[in-house]
Structure 1
Amino acid sequence: MTPFMGELLGTMLLILFGDGVCAGVSLNKSKAQNSGWIVIAMGWGLALAIAIFAVGRFSGAHLNPAFTIGLAMAGQFPWEKVPSYIAAQFIGAFLGACLVWLQYLPHWKATEDTGAKLGTFATGPAIRSPFANLISEVLATFILFVCILAIGANKFTEGLNPFVVGFLLVGVGLSFGGTTGYAMNPARDLGPRIAHAVLPLGKKGSSDWGYAWIPVVGPLVGGSLGTLFYYAVFGS
């Protein structure tokens, strides 16, 4: 498998499981409806672990344009590979969201709440305040990336690293996710937001493009700062 396909399939799995748990919790007549934030946080943590297990040996499992760019800025990843990785991540995120739509096909019509439908695909703020929302995404992504790189510097029993990173995402979601839904990944938000815009979901309302720049810019800034900070303080 090529690194491009690794990133595409890995990001697709991340979104398939991650947006899948959001759909299960949010959509009407789902057996998981209203099961809560802890279920969503656990679902996303397991999604990340599964995706890393699946494609880590092929592409390094970046699964996130912010991580790819941050590593390149820190001199840990070649810039010439950045465009193909980012393209694969966005394509995979879009395809993963489309598969979630297919999985929950009859539930879109059964759900009248347009906000619940959008929240299945993309993030949104609990309190709309662009500056505060941007800071939340920057800070959460900064912490996530510093911790991921720190975890990678430790030696674990073979095969446990993805689980540890997955539980890190659970912790970040529980501690920092209540403000904006913790996108922390431009592809994770923008790819599914595009899917929301183009897929037939019945009455679906706006895709909230006025907010869409925050879960793109915030993670890019926070991820770059976090990666540069880690290598400046802890070394390679």
Structure 2
Amino acid sequence: MSLGIIFLSEIFGTAMLTLLGCGVVANVALKGTKGNNGGFLMVTWGWGIAVFAGVFIAAKSGAHLNPAVTLGLILNGKKEFVPGIPVDFLSTITYFGGELTGAFLGAVVCWLAHKQHFDAEPLAATKLAVFSTGPAIRSTGWNLVTEIIGAFVLVFVILTFGGTPSGLGPLAVALLVVGIGVSLGGPTGYAINPARDLGPRIAHALLPIKGKGKSDWSYSWIPVVGPMAGGGLAGIVAAAAPIVFTAAQ
């Protein structure tokens, strides 16, 4: 195991995650697609399957695919991310870099796959929604709270039952993501992953998308800060939970 393998594993896994995840949003939202108006439930299941595929692909690196998961592992007190890769500054930056790069690349390929429908779609907001999340009701404080809660649930369950997404199992993580989506996804679109939102948002800003409008950078910090806070808090609570349960017994 090497940091190079970790980097590539996270790139390919996160790219598959955002390709399929952003892809299901494109299929539901963009004008003229076969899945147009498929609904939010189709989106949540699509994201679950995207996570399933991404975790399988990135199993060698533990399949973080998400900086909030990486941070949760650190604050949980893990000594190694995977056997042979100690938790330190360089390995952490490698995970973060692979996750963000993969998310960007997956979004670019999603755009290529749906290029004609992006051109046909008249609404700039709909095009942006394929790449990044946005709130149903814009409220900085409450949107942040929602993202913190969603990411906390994701990372806490992973740490409690599996240690890493690949340890919990691809299907289990996929169903967990679907569950978070249908339960907590309505207010903000449940980014629960800074790379998943930031990487595609950067792609939206850079790609020559016809009539794309702005990338809503004023909101962009919420799906980054919220999941990082939720994931970090989950790491701390998950570390304390065995002590609390043992004391209670």
Contact 1:140 1:176 in 2 (8 A): yes
Residues 146 and 227 in structure 1, CA contact (< 8 A), matched pair in contact too: yes
SS in 1 for 2:218: coil
| Contact 2:71 2:235 (C-alpha < 8 Å) held by counterparts | no
Counting only pairs closer than 5 Å after superposition, residues 157-176 of structure 1 correspond to structure 2 as 161-176=169-184
* Paired position in structure 1 for 2:155: 145
Residue aligning to 2:75? 73
2:61 corresponds to:
59
Instruction: Determine the structure 1 residue equivalent to 2:192.
Output: 184
Q: Is the Cα contact below 8 Å between 2:74 and 2:235 reproduced in 1?
A: no
- Report the CA distance shift for 1:148/1:112 in structure 2 as closer, same or farther (over 3 A): same
Confirm or deny that 1:95 pairs with 2:105: yes
Q: Where in structure 1 do 4 or more consecutive aligned residues deviate above 2 Å?
A: none
**Gaps in structure 1 of 5+ consecutive residues:** none
Equivalent position of 1:48 in the other structure: 51
Let me know the Cα RMSD of the aligned residues.
Answer: 1.6
Alignment of 1:200-211 (within 5 A): 200-211=208-219
Instruction: Tell me how many residue pairs correspond in the alignment.
Output: 230
CA distance in 2, matches of 1:159, 1:54: 13
Amino acid in structure 2 at the alignment position of 1:79:
D
The residue number in structure 2 matching 1:39 is: 42
Relative distance call for 1:65 and 1:55 in structure 2 (3 A) is same
Q: Which whole-Å CA distance do the structure 1 matches of 2:16 and 2:122 have between them?
A: 27
Pick the aligned partner of 2:95 from 65, 85, 96: 85
Q: Deviations over 1:31-55 (max 9, x none)?
A: 0000001100000011111111112
CA distance in 1, matches of 2:167, 2:185: 27
Does the 8 A contact of 1:145 with 1:226 survive in 2? yes
Matched position secondary structure for 2:12: helix
Q: TM-score, normalised by structure 2?
A: 0.89
Q: C-alpha displacement at 1:79, in angstroms?
A: 2.2
In the superposition, the TM-score normalised over structure 1's length comes to 0.94
Give the Å deviation of 1:159. 9.3
Secondary structure in structure 2 of the residue aligned to 1:211: helix
Change (3 A) 1:160 1:131: closer
Deviation larger for 188-197 or 65-74: 65-74
Q: 5+ unaligned residues in a row in structure 2: which ranges?
A: 82-86, 244-249
Matched-pair contact (CA < 8 Å) for 1:151–1:161:
no
Shift of the alpha carbon at 1:150? 2.7
1: CA distance between counterparts of 2:161 and 2:45?
19
Question: Cα deviations across residues 108-142 of structure 1 (Å, max 9, x unaligned)?
Answer: 11001111100000000000000000000001111
Output the CA distance in 2 between the equivalents of 1:217 and 1:73: 16
Match of 1:234 among 215, 232, 242: 242
